[in-house]
Structure formats: structure tokens, C-alpha cells
Structure 1
Amino acid sequence: MTQSHPSLSIPGRLIDVGWLATRLGTPGLVVLDATVPYGPGGPDGALGRSRWQEAHIPGSRYADLQRSLSDAAAPFSFAFPPAEKLAASLQALGVHDGAAVVIYDDFLNMWATRIWWMLRAIGFTNAAVLDGGWKAWVAAGKPTESGAGTAAPAGKPLSVRPLPSFTDIATVQAHVAGQRQGEALVCALPESYFAGAEKVAGRGGHIPGSINIPAASLLDAEGRFLAPDQLRTRLAPVDGASSVTLYCGGGISATVVAFALGLTGREDVKVYDGSLEEWNADPSRPLATTG
């Protein structure tokens, strides 16, 4: 299927509040709130939808990563769903071949970059993350609205042209076995997790052979991505690698690092979708607590 020409062209994978504010209401623009806040039991999509209904960017729709945009049959949370199922869920949000998509969230850009990375995986490229997300929008004094919003128009096609963006546990096991020399395996979690002080699925430490580039280290105090030269400095540990595989706790914050690598021009990057949630489910899989 041929992608129709978009009515609005996204200038890059990262846009600012001013760009979006002047284009709200443009035909074909789809704005998605991807926030999954943390409730007492962990990530809570229902709470995210409730907060979105209380206040959101005008015209936006809530993209439920925890439910409609994940594979409920997978043994780990937030799993990338079959491409055709994902496309149908995105169509229900108004995403179609001629659309321009802007995604935002209220926490470290990681939910927004997750959806951006999922769009990339099905070949949809006319999409961007709102730098600084909801906090930047509110801080700039831009308008907000409340309520359930409007339903997306039905019947507009969304093509699927898969682009390798995710990898699986077999790839990571090959890294650990020393079978992928020259390639980088990167943990995007904070150093406290990498060192084993904090745990994922009851186990502390990192996958042997991996290095640590925390997702939060690529953002400034306001939650915006660092300038490209600063990103290159922070991402320098993978400069000599032939390719990069990223993981975190559940395949979410790893997409921040993947997205940032793209901001510096590097595209030979994949995210291990199951990440430590899947890896740690089997206690026989090794972990390390030192570099």
C-alpha cells in the first residue's frame, strides 16, 4: 500500500512547544498523550486516561500503551504487539498514512519515545516527540482542555512497512555468549539498577557485557533532550560499536536512548523488548553487578 502525501510534514523527530502550538487544528495533525503514571501497583494506564481527561493538549487523544498498544498475550508488560494489531489500534487514534503525529507525556519523554519507536517499527516516519512534554506545554502557558475529546475519523488506511527496531532474548543471549563481538549492549536504567542496588523482577544487576547509559542522563533539568553535541558526548561509549542493542526494565526507557542516538544521526539501533522483566524471569540467566 502506498502512503498518501501528508497534509503536514513533521520537520524532525523532535519538535518544540512553539511549533505545535501554531499548528493545533491543522488537518491531519494527530496529537497523542502517551503518559502511563505510576500508581500504587505500578504503571497505571487507567490513571493516565483519567488524568488526560482532567487536562490535556487541545485535540489530543489518550494513547493507552498499557492496553490497546501492547500485546496482552506476552509474558512481559508493554510488549510490542503484532504489527497489524498495532496498526488497527493506531487507526482508532486517528493515525493514518497522511497524518502527522506528535506524541507527548508527563515523565522523561520515555512513554512518548516508546510510541515513536513503535511507529518507526511499522514504517511510519511522519512523527515527532514534543520536547519536554506536558510540563513544557504548561510552563509555556499554552492552552489546555478537559473532557473525553473527539473520536478519530474512521476508515483511513495505515500502511505497515516493517523496519527492524526491536530484538529478542536470543540476540541478548548471543551477546552474553560472546557471539556478537563489536556490537554494544546498553542498559538505559539508572546506575543504581545497573549496580544492583535496586531490582527488577526481584533481581539486581545488569546483563553481563553491557554498559550503562541512563536515559535520564540525556535530558536536562526540565526534561528536554540535551543539545546534539552534549548528546554525542554522553553517547560516546558506543561510538566504536558496529551496532547498538538497548534494554531497560521493560523496554520503555531504552527507547529514550534509541531516540537520542537518532538525534545524533545513528540508526543502527534496536531495543530488546522484553528487557530485564523477561531476562530476570529465569534465575539461571546471569546478571553482573560490576562493569
Structure 2
Amino acid sequence: MTDAPHSGLPTPGLPLPGPLLPGPLVDDAWLAARLDDPRLVVLDATALLPSPGHDGDYRSGSGHAQWAGRHIPGSRHADLTGELSDHEAPYHFAVPAPEALAAALRRLGVRDGSEVVAYDSAGGIWAARLWWMLRAISVPAAVLNGGMQAWEAAGRPVVAGQEEPAPTAAGTLTPVPLPHAWATLPDVDAVLRGERSGTLVCALPESGFDGSAPTRYSRRGHIPGSLNLPGRGLLDEAGRFLPRAELAARVGAVLDDTASPVVLYCGGGISAAGAALALTLLDREDVTLYDGSLEEWSADPARPLVQQG
């Protein structure tokens, strides 16, 4: 009699093992030592979103070809432009409903008992976006600090090819949505009118915040009353998050503890996820992300935007 193959996930009726991930951020050494752990699912979240050459110049695309060219062994590509977006929403990269998101993640091999490390080849914002989506349905997840650049710089193994590892056949993924992970347009409206507490924080670069640079959306500027905390400004030159003390100083120059809750947005909810990760690293739990961000907000000419450039 042959034993049934081990799935790597908890067996019903047995105690659950302790958590694998040390927190919302891991480094290349940590990941390299655990690539063979059957509980771990490694997902490349790279997507393409070129800078606009003029107002309204919106172009996006899948990062699957980049994944196929060079990726971490055993990883799969998580397509944020494909089934990890709600294509019925009036804006790009919309988060799917929890059950739809769980179904898409299950097809990538994520199960109850899995833990996920997300990375990308574009400065970490896409990995942070996937991390926030996973976190919002209570899937344990972390971001590879520095992403593919850090992995390669450390001399870690890299493979190429279109073939993706087969996902684990058995098991379910049960989404448990966290309250207040996402803000909607009515939520932001309520904050703007003073009917709901909250501090609006834009994670775009200063030129996007003040309207001096072209926007891929219909209008330039930021939502009135917003503060500016550029997501890219929370990383060092190598694309890693700043050391905690420096990160706290950078955030503290814009936000203090009285600015609560924090409602983050950007152009499309991507850079805002990087800022959300930075605030989480600083132990803030009062963070929500406006999914539609400026793409949704700016589409209605009646909604106010402030330009300073």
C-alpha cells in the first residue's frame, strides 16, 4: 500500500504549523532558503504601465513576457491586468470581488494554509499591490524587498521559459475579507465633505500631485485637502524600503498619529499600495486604499481637483 502524496498543506484534524512569513517584507536570503517549502507560493506581479507622453495617454499591459524571460525558480506570474482585475469596473486594475479573487489565486496555486511572497521587476509597486489584495482577504503574504533586482544582485538563481509549475491540485482558498481595506468613491466623498473622518494621502510623485506633469487620466491634480506622500520616495536607490528610522522620518514629515484613518490613493491604486506597505511596516493599522483613485475620481468633471503646477 502506497502512501498518498503529501500536498504540503495542513492535514485536516492536525494542528496548524506556525506562520512561515516573518512579516510583510522578506529579503532575498530569507526567500532563497525557503524556495522548496511546500507552503510557500511565489508570485511575480510585474505589469506594464508606461509614463504618459500627454494627458489621456493610458497604456498598460501584462508582465508575463518579462516573467518568462527571467524569473525566480518555481514562481508563477500573477497577471494584474488579467483575471486579477475586475474588468466590469469603470477603471483599470480594479480589485475583484473576494470570491472571484480567491478563485483566481487558487488557479495560481494559493490554498488555505499557503503563504505568498510577491515580487516584481518594476520597483516593487506591483508586488505591493498584490500584497494588499492578498492581505485584504486574509491570505498571509509578504513582498520581496528590492524585488527581482535585489534577487539578481545577490547572485540568486534565475530561470527562463513559458512553462509555469502546476498548482497544487487539492485544497480550497477561503477569502476572509478584512473590514476597511478598501475605500470607495462614496467613502472619499464623505471624507471630503467632513461627514467621515479620514486623511486623504496621494502617493503620486510631486509632479503628479501638483499637476505639473502629464497624466494618463482625464484631468490633472489631486483631491482637495490631500497630503502628498510619494510611494517611490519611501524606497532607496536599489528599490528597497528605507530603514525603519529613515522611513518613519520620511512618513512623519507628512503624517502624524492624529492623521487617522489614512485613505491612500494615487492614479490607479498601485503606488498607493506601496505607501500602504510602508505604513504597515511602521505598525499603522488605520490604513485604507481608494481602489478607483484618480482614474475614477477624475472621470467625472464635477468632482474637484486641485492643480498647483
Q: Given the two structures, how large is their TM-score scaled by the length of structure 1? A: 0.94
How far 1:155 sits from its partner (Å)? Answer: 2.8
How far 1:269 sits from its partner (Å)? Answer: 0.5
**Alignment check: 8 A CA contact 2:218 2:295 kept:** no
- Name 1:49's counterpart in structure 2: 64
**Alignment check: 8 A CA contact 2:222 2:307 kept:** yes
User: Secondary structure at the residue paired with 1:204?
Assistant: coil
- Name 1:104's counterpart in structure 2: 119
User: Secondary structure at the residue paired with 1:225?
Assistant: coil
- 1:259 equivalent to 2:273? Answer no
| Count of aligned pairs between the two proteins | 287
Q: CA RMSD in A?
A: 2.0
- Name 1:121's counterpart in structure 2: 136
- Name 1:209's counterpart in structure 2: 225
- 1:192 equivalent to 2:192? Answer no
- Identity rate of aligned residues, in percent? 52
Q: Which amino acid aligns with 1:215?
A: G
How far 1:175 sits from its partner (Å)? Answer: 2.0
Q: Which amino acid aligns with 2:261?
A: S
- 1:167 equivalent to 2:183? Answer yes
Runs of 4 or more, structure 1, over 6 Å off, are: 1-4
Equivalent positions of 1:1-291 (< 5 A) are 5=16, 9-38=20-49, 42-45=59-62, 48-124=63-139, 126-147=140-161, 148-164=163-179, 165-181=181-197, 183-198=198-213, 199-236=215-252, 237-239=254-256, 240-290=258-308
Q: Which amino acid aligns with 2:307?
A: T
How far 1:179 sits from its partner (Å)? Answer: 2.5
CA distance in 2, matches of 1:258, 1:15: 16
CA distance in 2, matches of 1:60, 1:44: 20
How far 1:52 sits from its partner (Å)? Answer: 0.8
CA distance in 2, matches of 1:129, 1:177: 35
Which whole-Å deviations, capped at 9, do the CAs of 1:228-256 have from their partners, x for residues lacking one? 11111111122121210000000111001
Q: Which amino acid aligns with 1:131?
A: N
Cα–Cα, structure 1 residues 2 and 119, in superposed 2: closer, same or farther, change >3 Å?
Answer: farther
Q: Which amino acid aligns with 1:278?
A: E
How far 1:28 sits from its partner (Å)? Answer: 1.7
CA distance in 2, matches of 1:83, 1:116: 14
User: Secondary structure at the residue paired with 1:170?
Assistant: helix
How far 1:53 sits from its partner (Å)? Answer: 1.0
**Alignment check: 8 A CA contact 1:10 1:127 kept:** yes
User: Secondary structure at the residue paired with 1:180?
Assistant: coil
Cα–Cα, structure 1 residues 162 and 168, in superposed 2: closer, same or farther, change >3 Å?
Answer: same
Which whole-Å deviations, capped at 9, do the CAs of 1:107-135 have from their partners, x for residues lacking one? 121100111101111111x2110000000
Q: Which amino acid aligns with 1:224?
A: R
CA distance in 2, matches of 1:285, 1:127: 35
- Name 2:8's counterpart in structure 1: none
**Alignment check: 8 A CA contact 1:7 1:27 kept:** no
Give structure 2 stretches of 5+ with no counterpart.
1-11, 52-57
CA distance in 1, matches of 2:72, 2:79: 16
Considering only CA atoms, is the larger Rg found in Structure 1 or Structure 2? 2
CA distance in 2, matches of 1:142, 1:242: 41
Cα–Cα, structure 1 residues 259 and 54, in superposed 2: closer, same or farther, change >3 Å?
Answer: same
Q: Which amino acid aligns with 1:250?
A: G
User: Secondary structure at the residue paired with 1:289?
Assistant: coil
Which whole-Å deviations, capped at 9, do the CAs of 1:192-228 have from their partners, x for residues lacking one? 0111112241311100010100001100000000011
Which whole-Å deviations, capped at 9, do the CAs of 1:66-125 have from their partners, x for residues lacking one? 11101010010000111001001001111111112110001121100111101111111x
User: Secondary structure at the residue paired with 1:186?
Assistant: strand
Give structure 1 stretches of 5+ with no counterpart.
none
CA distance in 2, matches of 1:24, 1:192: 40
**Alignment check: 8 A CA contact 1:8 1:28 kept:** no
